[in-house]
Amino acid sequence: MRGIAEMLALAVVYFASCWLGLTQATIAGAASPVWPATGVALAGLVLLGVSRWPAVFVAAFASILWFGSAPPAATLAMAVGNTLEAVLGALLLRRLGFSPTLSRTQDVLALATTAATCTLASAALGALSLMVTKQVDGAGFVLTAWVWWLGNAMGALVVAPALLLLSRLHAEPRWREALGLAVLTLGVVLWTFIGGERGSPLAHAQVFLLYPLGVWAALRFGAQGAALSTLVIAGASIWGTATGHGPFFSTEHGRAVDLLELQLFLATVAFTGLLLAASRAERKVASAQLELLATAVRSVQEGVLICELRPGEGLRLVYANESFRAMVGWSQEELAGRAPQELCGDGMEPEAHPRLLLALREGGFFRGEVVLVHKDGSRVHSEMQLSPVRNGDGEVAYFVATHRDITAQKQLQAKLVSAERIAAVGTLAAGVGHEINNPLAYLMLNLEGVAQSLTRGPEGLAEARASLESAREGAERIRVIVRDLKVFSRQQGEERAMLDVNEVVVPALRMAAHAVRPRARLVEDFGQPPKVLGSEARLGQVMLNLLVNALQAIPEGDPEHHEVRVRTGRDDSGRALVEVSDTGCGMSPAVRARIFDPFFTTKSWGEGTGLGLAICQQIIQAHGGELRVSSEEGKGSSFTVLLPSAESRPAKTPLPRAATPAPAAAPRRRILIIDDEPRLAQSMRMLIEPTHDVFVTTRGAEALAWVNEGQRFDLVLCDLQMPGTTGMDVYAHLSANVPELAERLVFISGGAYTQATRDFVRSVRNRILEKPVRPDELLATIDEALATTSAA
């Protein structure tokens, strides 16, 4: 019933509009330059559906047969043409994605295209039917088709928008302005087309008053205002011209030509008004979206940075949201115009830096971790995602970077890494204690032997010398073990340098050897891996953790039937390779799929935290490498570390130093030793005093007092961490008062650094000796430092 009601209503309205059009027919009682029925049919099929076309056909046939003078055959052809243009128009609009709201420029262009093209079907069939039935001759065919097409096209362009938008009328809050505009428009139209002069220049000038009114309607009231304004102008102007009034009326050309000129004027008014209204609507939507985007960017929790790519200047900051400004401590005014690289620190992962440069150079995307420098000098770790923004020509004009502050996350990761490293060392604590006790035992026994040998006088000197040599070897072994412990347990370790992979593996093997022996044979298969750029502490932690995992996979009591094999070398692509394999219990596929998940472990309580392999994978990936695993249940597992080679990197070659003959006798220099451990200070004094004048103090304040009194020293050996005045305080005082002596300050440290000490160590260029210092290393360092000082 609803469909029948809709078809009936459409037929009635279409019938009435046909009658209006036929009253203005100028050719054979059928071709009319005014045909609102096309707009009615087009709007009806768009709103109600193409399936309502029978209502158009029936109403067209009935109206033309009733009011027209064409033969029935021509009438039937005309009805078919009118129906066909409406159906084709509705289908074309649907194909073009037309919206009845006419709120987009593309909707207006789609309607204009439909009005200009689909009406050709009706014009061609109508003019052809009149020529076939001899209502017009061949010469009049073109004029008939022209009048027919223009009348139908104007009906589609003027009437269809008004009908489409009438279904969406709503209460207008600016109704007083709308009423005033309607009254003013109607008054100007009536004055121009009813009360104005005919065909005079003044009458044509009056027409131009309608343009600003149409613009007013379009810009203030949108597509509805433009469509209704055009409909009012069209109705009044057609009536006035048809009754012999207005600027388009002419006694020379006739009503047909007058109406054709008027239709061209109305086409301009209608198209301009709809286009302006659509542009206004699009701009309003774009402004709302822009404001929404700006609000979102301002309030988003992640930092947003927009950089413009300027010719000759590179990237320059143009916008930073509140979150980013809080992240770095700079204001918008301080950031504007700066190069983004000024905000970056030196903590970016080596593999991420070339990817970032490639993205900036080629206008690509980048995601990785960067380090930002806060205004106060602190470092902010950020996870950055960089995206290019291209202009209409496809060229990169801007880069948008989003930053997520992961400083707290990085600090937590560092604590977890440190905890796991200490846990691995703790697993081997008993073995490490055994390894220290052995050399310590024969160190003490040999020292006791020296004492006994010396009591026998000169005949015991040779025996005492041999015992001292054995004691020195024991002390060296203890020094190496302590050094390994410091490497694996130190809090710092992010500093990277060129490393020999074998030299990283050996300390881990020394640490784990004693724990491996009760379970398996330890097999070393060292090749020639390329050098890598990495952190000795971090990579050493990975090796130690893999060895601990290997020994824990093998039960105690049957070492002859099990082995832990460590192999080094290079893979087919030239990367450094370290493989740790065992003949232990192995892993099932389900376990192997989860071994790198944090906190996943198959070990009993107290043996593992489930973090070891996850942290190992993180460390290796941060070095740009891979950690692979293969395992078979009951047959053992194999972990393979692959690290990118650094041998292709340009190395800094030291300048050749001219060989100079050693002087016959080196001059004695004044050396100041500052160390809060009296026995160590005195031991260094005994070692150095045969060749130099040595002054010793256990307090930094006393040493600075000597300097302030004017005492001159050629070199200072200073403990880095002391109670009261620290080595850092001594350095600061010397830098301010005796800068040339500050350059010849050599630090001696036990390695237990605080955060402030770590920052200081990274900032100074002075030599730092790690305790225990070998005598030859200490003497060589003194000679090297004094070589640049002229004799007093």
Report whether pLDDT(631) > 80. Answer: yes
- Backbone phi and psi for residue 768, each to the nearest 5 degrees, phi listed first: -125, 120
Where do the H-state alpha helices sit in 428-495?
429-454, 461-489
What is the pLDDT confidence band of residue 650, given thresholds at 50, 70 and 90? very low
- Backbone phi and psi for residue 27, each to the nearest 5 degrees, phi listed first: -130, 120
Q: What is the pLDDT of residue 452?
A: 76
DSSP state of 558: -
**CATH architecture observed for domain 670-786:** 3-Layer(aba) Sandwich (3.40)
Domain with CATH 1.10.1760.20 in the chain: 1-168
Query: Is 105 within 8 Å of 223 (Cβ atoms)?
Result: no
Model pLDDT for residues 496-555, shown as the tens digit of each residue: 788 899 988 988 888 778 778 888 999 999 999 999 988 887 888 788 888 888 888 888
Q: At what angle do helices 407-427 and 612-622 cross, to 10 degrees?
A: 120
DSSP labels, 183-217: HHHHHHHHHHHTSSPSS-HHHHHHHTTHHHHHHHH
d(CA 674, CA 695): 9
Model pLDDT for residues 749-790, shown as the tens digit of each residue: 876 567 778 778 878 888 888 887 888 888 989 988 888 665
Q: What is the pLDDT of residue 56?
A: 94
Query: Is 207 within 8 Å of 192 (Cβ atoms)?
Result: yes
What is the pLDDT confidence band of residue 683, given thresholds at 50, 70 and 90? confident
DSSP state of 342: G
What is the pLDDT confidence band of residue 792, given thresholds at 50, 70 and 90? very low
Report whether pLDDT(706) > 60. Answer: yes
List 638's β-bridge partners, or say none: 581, 630
- Highest mean pLDDT among 73-82, 204-213, 433-442 belongs to 73-82
Query: Is 183 within 8 Å of 192 (Cβ atoms)?
Result: no
Give 499 or 415, the one with higher predicted confidence: 499
Residues comprising the chain, all counted: 792
Helix/strand/coil (H/E/C) assignment for every residue in 212-232 = HHHHHHHHHHHHHHHHHHHHH
Q: Which CATH number is 1-168's, of 3.30.750.24, 3.40.1050.10, 2.60.120.10, 1.10.1760.20? A: 1.10.1760.20
**377 to each of 328, 448, 735, how far by Cα in Å?**
9, 55, 21
Please compute the mean of the pLDDT values over residues 88-108 and round it to a whole number.
92
d(CA 613, CA 633): 18
Report whether pLDDT(616) > 70. Answer: yes
- For 9, the token pair is 């209503």
DSSP state of 344: B
What is the pLDDT confidence band of residue 375, given thresholds at 50, 70 and 90? confident
Q: What is the pLDDT of residue 679?
A: 83
d(CA 582, CA 585): 9
DSSP labels, 107-150: HHHHHHHHHHHTHHHHHHHHHHHHHHTTSS-STTHHHHHHHHHH
d(CA 627, CA 569): 15
- Backbone phi and psi for residue 640, each to the nearest 5 degrees, phi listed first: -120, 125
Q: What is the pLDDT of residue 39?
A: 93
| b/e sequence 752-781, b meaning 16+ C-beta within 10 Å | ebeeebbebbeeeebeebebbbeeeebeeb
Q: What is the chain's alpha carbon radius of gyration, rounded to the nearest angstrom?
A: 47
d(CA 111, CA 38): 12
Give 278 or 262, the one with higher predicted confidence: 278
| Percentage, residues of the chain above pLDDT 90 | 26
Query: Is 218 within 8 Å of 282 (Cβ atoms)?
Result: no
d(CA 85, CA 57): 11
Query: Is 670 within 8 Å of 688 (Cβ atoms)?
Result: no
DSSP labels, 387-429: EEEE-TTS-EEEEEEEEEE-HHHHHHHHHHHHHHHHHHHHHTH
For the domain made up of 300-405, the CATH class stated in words is alpha beta
What is the pLDDT confidence band of residue 653, given thresholds at 50, 70 and 90? very low
d(CA 286, CA 280): 10
- Backbone phi and psi for residue 205, each to the nearest 5 degrees, phi listed first: -65, -35
Q: What is the pLDDT of residue 663?
A: 47
Domain with CATH 3.40.50.2300 in the chain: 670-786
What is the pLDDT confidence band of residue 43, given thresholds at 50, 70 and 90? very high
- Highest mean pLDDT among 299-308, 475-484, 667-676 belongs to 667-676
Give 673 or 750, the one with higher predicted confidence: 673
Query: Is 508 within 8 Å of 544 (Cβ atoms)?
Result: yes
**579 to each of 221, 276, 310, 536, how far by Cα in Å?**
76, 73, 50, 17
3-state secondary structure of 96: coil
Q: Which of 70-79, 444-453, 601-610, 621-630 has the lowest mean pLDDT?
A: 601-610
Domain with CATH 3.30.565.10 in the chain: 414-643
DSSP state of 666: P
d(CA 603, CA 611): 12
What is the pLDDT confidence band of residue 604, given thresholds at 50, 70 and 90? low
Query: Is 271 within 8 Å of 234 (Cβ atoms)?
Result: no
What is the pLDDT confidence band of residue 404, given thresholds at 50, 70 and 90? confident
Report whether pLDDT(665) > 60. Answer: no
Model pLDDT for residues 112-169, shown as the tens digit of each residue: 999 999 999 999 999 999 999 888 888 889 989 998 998 899 999 999 998 988 867 6
Model pLDDT for residues 556-576, shown as the tens digit of each residue: 888 888 999 999 999 999 999
Q: What is the pLDDT of residue 530?
A: 93
Helix (H) or strand (E) holding 526, with range, is none
Report whether pLDDT(352) > 70. Answer: yes
Model pLDDT for residues 30-41, shown as the tens digit of each residue: 888 889 999 999
Query: Is 391 within 8 Å of 378 (Cβ atoms)?
Result: no
State the CB neighbour count (10 A cutoff) for residue 381: 20
Q: What is the pLDDT of residue 41?
A: 95
List 606's β-bridge partners, or say none: none
Report whether pLDDT(655) > 70. Answer: no
d(CA 473, CA 480): 11
Q: Is the N-terminal amide bond of 212 cis, ω within 30° of 0?
A: no
Q: Which CATH superfamily is domain 414-643 in?
A: Histidine kinase-like ATPase, C-terminal domain (3.30.565.10)
**Range list of β-strands (E), 583-655:** 626-632, 636-643
How confident is the prediction for the chain on average, in pLDDT? 82
